[in-house]
Every structure is written in structure tokens, then in C-alpha cells.
Amino acid sequence: MNILEEYQSKLTSPEKAVSVVKSGDWVDYGSFTGQPVVLDKALAARKDELEDVKIRAVTAVRMPEVVKVDPEARHFVYNNWHFSGLDRKLHDQGVCWYSPILYNELPSYYRRFLDVDVAMIPVAPMDEKGFFNFGPQVSHTKAMLEKAKIIILEVNPKIPRCLGGLEEAIHISAVDHIVETEWELPQIQPVPPTELDNRIAGFIMPELVDGSCIQLGIGGMPNAMGKIIAQSDLKDLGVHTEMMTEAFVEMVEAGRVTGARKQIDRYKLTYTFSMGTQKTYDFLHNNPSCAIYPVDYVNNPWIIAKNDHVIAINNCVEVDLFGQVCSESSGTRQISGTGGQVDFTLGAYHSQGGKSFICLESTYKAKNGEIRSRINPILTPGAIVTTHRAMVNYVVTEHGIVNLKGKSTWERAEALISIAHPNFRDDLIKDAEKMGIWRRTAKLA
């Protein structure tokens, strides 16, 4: 049987494909823009036949039908490795559960610990060799499929073919069922930078040199950084980043990125997933200057550190005077996830000439209209420590930039108070004194 005949023999309807799911199964939906649409709808239609079907995904960009039809989560149990804004709302409603991870370890969780009864993922159309490309989200996909007892593909010609790298495709011989569909990838518009985002980015720019290897997180501040870099005169920048965004496309189009000075994956933009606009997806499609790898390569701190002058730029929710960073919860309320912040904070620091930056606006407006500090004596009770205090390198607000490496507790407190909003500094000093991390001789600049 040739590959075209095999394709036809495995081609089926969404309804027939999802008939393999049984009560109690673990079903994996894939990640980011690579989550099934017609298979999700077909599975949701079986609600009354099923109990305790446990679903895993990463960062929903559409409302899962299995959640929509089961508002009490009696039939489908929806779990997520990293929350989107939608996942956060579903969590608040009691129909989504967070699974903590170190992102670089996720493939190993599947290979070592997890069961997958059915995996269903969208893919690009089969090529002439019988391979289906995973599109703009390799992440942990191959490890997930290795453990799956049954694999169902949702073939979509709208999915860009993202070149590897490594582990970016699956052969038809490993597939059980194929469903054909056509839907547009979600368009994730860049968050417009604020004036404060631009001020924070301005403190980081002098830390970059020609040949720096860039990682940007998600949000307005990283987008501000990308725009400023695109408009700079920096040369031969490299890209080794968890998430490929439109900011990198702009940097390439401006001639800032060549990858010529990278120590590994030279001339390649290295990433593990992408969420963006059609411009980003068109840029990635069949682009040999880009290389998509699994997350245990891209986010491995020791792989990151092989490139020189790695610059890692990420946001957070709050920092306390000990230097502990919370980037994923508001008190006990889960709002995102650990993501790759820990991976790149560690990897960038161990890069020759590398630096990592944790960025935050110094204040925020609470629901009652009160202005509150994001630099606090201790983290909000219940807040999750994302990045250990000893790992933190630079912290940046619109009031300045400080290095915490090698600093004692009182030096850390002094440094962080110096970049807190001026209206909160006196109270922070009093709190630092009460906690025994302030010297009477310490003075703020």
C-alpha cells in the first residue's frame, strides 16, 4: 500500500474518529493554535455517552466545545499546562484546572509519567514523503504522540509548514485516523506598548550589543522591546526564543537579525511555538531561516547558554523585597503559568555575556481604583513563586534597573526600593526594617 492509499484508508469523519474515546480516558488536545476544532465539536456531541474524560491542552485560543456543553464538568475534565485569558475565566468558573510545570521538562513528563489514551491534533497536509507537519507548535507534541494509544489528525491546509529543527512532523504510518477540515488560525494581535513599557525597554536597550541572542516573552513590554530593537542600529542579532511573535518578524525585516554570531543554530531563528497574526504565520511557512524545535531543546537552560550574549526579557506580576518573583498568579488565583521564564532566566545568566531581565510596571490600579505597588515587602499571600530569588538577575521598572545577583538581603531590599514608585518607598523601608533586611546606613539614590 502506498502512502496515498494508506491516507485514504485512514480518512474518516470527525464523528467516527472520536468514537474511539471511552469514559475515563486521557485525551490530549495539543497546544496553542494547534488544538482541534472539528474533533473537539464531535467529542462534545458525545457528552451524554461519556463520563470523566480528562482533557489536556496548552493555552486555549478558542472556547473548547467540551467545556461549553458541560458547564458542571461532569463529563469532561479540562486541564491546562498554561493559562490564556480564556482559561483563566474558565478556571474561575470551576471548569478548568492548572497543571504546574517547568516548561523545558514537559516532554519528559509524558515519556516518564503520563498516560495518553487518545491524542488529537491539527496538522498541515501530508507531504510527498508521507509526513504531516505540526505547524507552529512543536512544543511537547512528539513526546505526547509517542505515548498515545490512538492518534487522530485534523488535517488543515491553512496551517503553515514550519521547518525543523527536530520532532516537527509525524509519518502516516504512525497515525490511526485522519479527518480533513479547513479553518483559519486564530489571529493573536500584538499588545500595544504603553508609555511605561517604552520607558522600561529604554533601560534594557543599553545592555544589548551587536550579536546579542534575543528571547522575548509575551505582552506590551516585550513588544516595545522588539520595536525599539527594529529601529536601532544593532547588527547580527540572533533569536533563540520560546515564542515566535510579530516583534521578531519586524526585527528581521529591519535587518537587525542575521544569526551570524550564534554559537548553535547559526543563521536560524530558533523557537518552539508561535502565536501571532497571519503576517507571522506567513513568515514562518516554509521559511528555511526558521527552525522549530521541541521545548526540551529550546527551553533547556544548558542549550540556551551555548549561545553568547543571550538576552532574556520577561514580565511578572509582582516582586517582593527578598527578590522572589511571581509571574503566574494573583494571590491564589492562577492567571497564566510558569512558562519559560525560569528556563530562560537560568539559561541567559549562564550564557557568556548573557543577561536576564524581569520587567514590571511599578504600580497597578486595583478594582476599587486604588493604586498599589507591584514591589511589596512579601508576595501577596497565596502568590506563587515563579522564579527563585537566587535566580533573578536584573529587575526593571519605569523607575530604573537593578541587578540582584551577589546581593545580600539588605542590598536587595535597597535596590528594589530604589526602582519602586516613589510614593511607596518610605513604607517599603519601614517594612524592610521590621523584617530585618534594612541597614540604618542604607540610603536610596
pLDDT tens-digit profile of 221-243? Answer: 888 898 899 999 999 999 999 99
Cell numbers for 28, please give them.
490530549
* DSSP string across 328-355: SEETTEE-S--TTHHHHHHHHHHSTT-E
Query: What's residue 262's pLDDT?
Result: 98
Domains 3-180 and 195-434 share a fold: yes
The interaxial angle of helices 246-253 and 220-230, nearest 10 deg, is 10
Nearest CA among 106, 114, 156 for reference residue 136: 156
The answer to whether residues 399 and 199 touch, using CB atoms and an 8 Å cutoff, is: no
The domain defined by 3-180 carries CATH number 3.40.50.10240: no
For cell 513588544, the residue is 223
In the chain, the amino acid numbered 343 is D
211-225, 372-386, 425-439: least confidently modelled range: 211-225
Interval 362-371: pLDDT, tens: 999 999 999 9
The helix (run of H) or strand (run of E) holding residue 110 is: helix 106-112
pLDDT above 90 as % of the chain: 93
Query: For residue 424, what is the DSSP state?
Result: H
Nearest CA among 351, 267, 265, 337 for reference residue 301: 351
Confidence of residue 441 (pLDDT cuts 50, 70, 90): low
Give me the chain's average pLDDT, please. Answer: 96
Question: What amino acid positions are annotated as catalytic residues?
Answer: 242
Instruction: Report CA-CA distances (Å) from 59 to 33, 121, 169.
Output: 8, 14, 21
Query: For residue 207, what is the DSSP state?
Result: G
List Cβ neighbours of 429 (8 Å cut-off, separation of 6 or more): 417, 438
Binding residues: 217-221, 317, 340
Dist CA 388 CA 386 (whole Å): 7
Say how many Å lie between the first and final Cα of the chain, rounded: 76
Nearest CA among 192, 186, 172, 67 for reference residue 137: 186
| pTM higher than 0.85 | yes
* DSSP string across 48-82: GG---EEEEEES-SS--HHHHT-TT-SSEEEEESS
Dist CA 2 CA 173 (whole Å): 10
pLDDT at 402 over 80: yes
Confidence of residue 218 (pLDDT cuts 50, 70, 90): confident
Instruction: Report CA-CA distances (Å) from 21 to 46, 73, 418.
Output: 9, 17, 57
Cell numbers for 389, please give them.
530569588
- Over residues 398-410, the mean pLDDT reads 97
> In the chain, what are the domain boundaries?
3-180, 195-434
pLDDT at 445 over 60: no
Interval 91-108: pLDDT, tens: 999 999 999 999 999 999
Confidence of residue 219 (pLDDT cuts 50, 70, 90): confident
Confidence of residue 190 (pLDDT cuts 50, 70, 90): confident
Query: What's residue 192's pLDDT?
Result: 84
In degrees and rounded to multiples of 5, residue 355 shows phi and psi of -150, 145
The helix (run of H) or strand (run of E) holding residue 166 is: none
CATH architecture of 195-434: 3-Layer(aba) Sandwich (3.40)
The answer to whether residues 145 and 151 touch, using CB atoms and an 8 Å cutoff, is: yes
Q: Biggest alpha carbon distance in the chain?
A: 81
Binding residues for CoA: 217-221, 317, 340
Instruction: Report the Cα 118 to chain-centroid distance in Å.
Output: 24
**Rounded to the nearest 5 degrees, what angle is found at the Cα of 60, between the Cα atoms of 54 and 63?**
85
DSSP E strand stretches across 32-159 = 53-58, 76-80, 97-98, 116-123, 131-133, 148-155
Interval 241-276: pLDDT, tens: 999 999 999 999 999 999 999 999 999 999 999 999
Cell numbers for 187, please give them.
489571529
Dist CA 132 CA 135 (whole Å): 9
pLDDT at 215 over 90: yes
- Over residues 24-31, the mean pLDDT reads 97
In the chain, the amino acid numbered 142 is K
The helix (run of H) or strand (run of E) holding residue 267 is: none
The answer to whether residues 212 and 229 touch, using CB atoms and an 8 Å cutoff, is: no
Nearest CA among 84, 80, 103, 98 for reference residue 387: 103
Dist CA 416 CA 409 (whole Å): 11
